[in-house]
Structure 1
Amino acid sequence: MTKEEKAKYPVKHVKITTCGQLYERWKENKPLYERAPKNGLTLDVEYADNLSLLNWDSDSCDTKLMVCLHGAPGSHSDFEAVIQHMTRLGVRVIAPNFPDYSVTIKTDIFRHSAEEKTEFIKDFLRAIGINRIDVMIAHSSAIYPTTMLWCDQKGPRIESFVLLNPGGHRRIKAMRPVWYTEGGVKVYQNKWGRTLFQIFGTAFLNITKTVTVKADNMNNVILSASTMRYSRFKQLEEKLIKLRESKIPVLLVFSENDRLIEKEIFYEMAEILGANEDNISIYDENGCLEKDGSVDDTIKVVSFRSGGHYCFLKYTNVVNKACDQLLRTLDNKLIQNEVICDTN
């Protein structure tokens, strides 16, 4: 049985060529990229796309488009519940898989940096003909390339954001100890270093508890570390401020008991985005509403006392309802704009 047959939504593939211009720029001061292909890397992208399941014409102006980007590691299957829910609402959902660590081993170039992932998303969306996104969902480390894409004038127009347990604007727990995220990543990029990690790494990490990512797959451990090491996380606060100033609707969802990211960082990000205590809905350890936040067309925050790094899977119904509210906010803005245009 193929992946397509197992999945509860359509799975597609498209070949793209990406990062060519980026690598050409980097060749000037980064010797690593002197051997990069002139046109970039050719990659096969697997992605979810529920278009064939929708009940009405895909070209209808009423059809909303949602793009979902997973963390590291991750895949489009992380958004299965979102896809099924949005399909019932007639919302098209596209969720591509980012390259896994095998691409790094094969090319010895792709480092899963925020810049590379931004180019990857941009080229993928261009390949399937997408230039406007109603809702961009980013889980965990996907916030870094997502916000870069939004700032890119050549990228698609993005109308709103859903940030699920987003990576932080300063160093998070998952990026400590620094010697591992910095040194370990460099060692693993060498084939002899990978051999040592494959033999001893899992046992070492299980004993020392130095990282919070599951150590059962060393490629995934290093993928997570590489993504965060090259995330440009220090630039995120500036982008969050720009999001706030742009008045683009943002839904921020997180858990206070996230093992990768401290709750203080999430609340700091909420404040940077312009949220105050009135905007925050809090759900207790059992997922019951403890405090209801006020409705705001620009910022909405949902905090779970106990939801882990994948709270959108544990509390699917709550997060889906919050996304529904975001879609209604977009509809209201569209109506208001039409009224203004008619008046003029």
Structure 2
Amino acid sequence: MQKRFLSKITIRAPKLYEKLVKFETEKGNFVDLKAVYEDSLPTSSSQGTVIGFHGSPGSHKDFKYIRHRLDDMGIRFIGINYPGFKQTDAYPGQRFTNLERQRYSDAVLDELDIQGKIIIMGHSRGCENALITTTYRNPHGLVMINPTGLRIHKGSRPKGKLEGLNYMHKQLPKRVGDIILFNYEFSFLFFSIDCSSSSIKNCRIQIQDGQEAMAVIRTIQKCDLEKQMESILKLNEMSTKVMITFGGNDHLIEKEIIFEALQNYQGLKHFDFQSEITDSEKQEILNIFKKHKGISVFVERDNHFQNKKRADLVSDAVETMFLH
């Protein structure tokens, strides 16, 4: 099988747009915010539209390798940028909870008024919101890449660590607190990620300053891990096509936690791989969508960034979903 070296692909520049959206905070205040989002085909696509919800840290760029392939397939991609992560500005009193995240992303999607088939896609922390959004927007498909499970994982342990950092930041002058948090987050990413030569270049730019570091901490702290069960049970009653993919060499989320969560999903055919997936094996995976609800794919040697490593599998799965 010929290997695809995705890191050598020249990725076309994203097409960024702005929309003024209005949504309600948890405290009942209304926020007018300029939402920045990526839209690869603003004139729409006859095949369908993929809506991406990024991780923490993250942005629409989480999906650039997938989006590049979707471009070639003529499939529209819209990348939501959550407030506080350098693309869309934060707003006063932002809580970083799923409730406020949902109200923001719903406001963006309502403004865009997307027609035709839709697939919701999440990476990492964004998978919670992708799952929630799916349960009431009833899209054609749902893709979750390196999702969180139903209980606390190593990226959030010990629980008091995040609470302590949050408390410390509130007590210090903002400038001092931002510097401390930025250095803490950079050290965490640098020593936790498998820093190959290409990864080392990208470690620092994942978090640009202390303000974004605080957004990362608060967003992870506000995960609703156990509450995802409500959405999973709703999803089981829906006809929505589903793909879940995760790796065994994930520095943030233990594979055991994801396997536990998978037991609650119904109608998914599971596939296990050690490392590479051959063309024939990939075709076997894709064929499942013709007659069944969906798939879960585990690759033992994959890390937390299957949005890059498995861009070909994910994009091909999206194309197949739209056809069935």
TM-score of the pair, normalised by structure 2: 0.79
State whether residues 132 and 158 of structure 1, in contact with CA within 8 Å, keep that contact through their aligned partners in structure 2.
no
* 1:23 is the counterpart of 2:27: yes
Residues in 2 aligned to 1:107 and 1:198: alpha-carbon distance in whole angstroms:
20
Q: In structure 2, the residue corresponding to 1:233 is in which secondary structure?
A: coil
Residues 35-54 of structure 1 mapped to structure 2, 5 A cutoff: 38=29, 40-52=30-42
Bigger Cα displacement from structure 2, 110-119 vs 140-149: 140-149
Q: CA deviation at 1:147?
A: 2.8
The one-letter code of the counterpart of 2:273 is Y
Q: In structure 1, the residue corresponding to 2:173 is in which secondary structure?
A: helix
- CA pair 110-230 structure 1, distance change in 2 beyond 3 A: same
Counterpart among 261, 264, 271 of residue 272 in structure 1: 264
* 1:148 is the counterpart of 2:140: no
Q: CA deviation at 1:189?
A: 3.9
The structure whose Rg is larger is 1
Residues in 1 aligned to 2:90 and 2:239: alpha-carbon distance in whole angstroms:
42
* 1:136 is the counterpart of 2:126: no
Q: Which residue pairs with 1:238 in the alignment?
A: 230
* 1:170 is the counterpart of 2:175: no
Q: In structure 2, the residue corresponding to 1:14 is in which secondary structure?
A: strand
Q: In structure 2, the residue corresponding to 1:240 is in which secondary structure?
A: helix
Residues in 2 aligned to 1:133 and 1:189: alpha-carbon distance in whole angstroms:
44
* 1:183 is the counterpart of 2:164: yes
State whether residues 173 and 261 of structure 1, in contact with CA within 8 Å, keep that contact through their aligned partners in structure 2.
yes
- CA pair 200-318 structure 1, distance change in 2 beyond 3 A: closer
The one-letter code of the counterpart of 1:45 is A
Q: Which residue pairs with 1:13 in the alignment?
A: 18
State whether residues 251 and 326 of structure 1, in contact with CA within 8 Å, keep that contact through their aligned partners in structure 2.
no
Q: Kindly provide the CA deviation profile for residues 106-143 of structure 1, in whole angstroms up to 9, marking residues without a partner as x.
A: 64411211111100110011122237652000111112
| Higher RCO structure (Cα 8 Å, ≥6 apart) | 2
- CA pair 18-133 structure 1, distance change in 2 beyond 3 A: farther
Identify unmatched segments of 5+ residues in structure 2. Answer: 1-10, 195-202
Q: Kindly provide the CA deviation profile for residues 22-71 of structure 1, in whole angstroms up to 9, marking residues without a partner as x.
A: 432xxxxxxxxxxxxx4x2222211111225x7xxx4x7x4412111111
- CA pair 106-244 structure 1, distance change in 2 beyond 3 A: closer
The one-letter code of the counterpart of 2:165 is G
Q: Kindly provide the CA deviation profile for residues 298-332 of structure 1, in whole angstroms up to 9, marking residues without a partner as x.
A: 12012122221111202222222222222222xxx
State whether residues 47 and 96 of structure 1, in contact with CA within 8 Å, keep that contact through their aligned partners in structure 2.
yes
Q: Which residue pairs with 2:298 in the alignment?
A: 303
Aligned length: 298
The one-letter code of the counterpart of 2:128 is Y
Q: Which residue pairs with 2:219 in the alignment?
A: 227
Q: CA deviation at 1:234?
A: 1.6
Q: In structure 2, the residue corresponding to 1:71 is in which secondary structure?
A: coil
- CA pair 150-321 structure 1, distance change in 2 beyond 3 A: closer
State whether residues 69 and 96 of structure 1, in contact with CA within 8 Å, keep that contact through their aligned partners in structure 2.
yes
- CA pair 255-49 structure 1, distance change in 2 beyond 3 A: same
- CA pair 273-233 structure 1, distance change in 2 beyond 3 A: same
The sequence identity of aligned pairs, in percent, is 20
State whether residues 105 and 189 of structure 1, in contact with CA within 8 Å, keep that contact through their aligned partners in structure 2.
no
- CA pair 106-13 structure 1, distance change in 2 beyond 3 A: closer
Counterpart among 311, 314, 320 of residue 316 in structure 1: 311
Q: In structure 1, the residue corresponding to 2:226 is in which secondary structure?
A: helix
Q: CA deviation at 1:232?
A: 1.7
Q: In structure 1, the residue corresponding to 2:148 is in which secondary structure?
A: coil
Q: Which residue pairs with 2:200 in the alignment?
A: none
Q: In structure 2, the residue corresponding to 1:68 is in which secondary structure?
A: strand
Counterpart among 67, 82, 91 of residue 83 in structure 1: 67
Counterpart among 49, 52, 65 of residue 68 in structure 1: 52
Residues in 2 aligned to 1:78 and 1:203: alpha-carbon distance in whole angstroms:
22
Residues in 2 aligned to 1:131 and 1:200: alpha-carbon distance in whole angstroms:
42
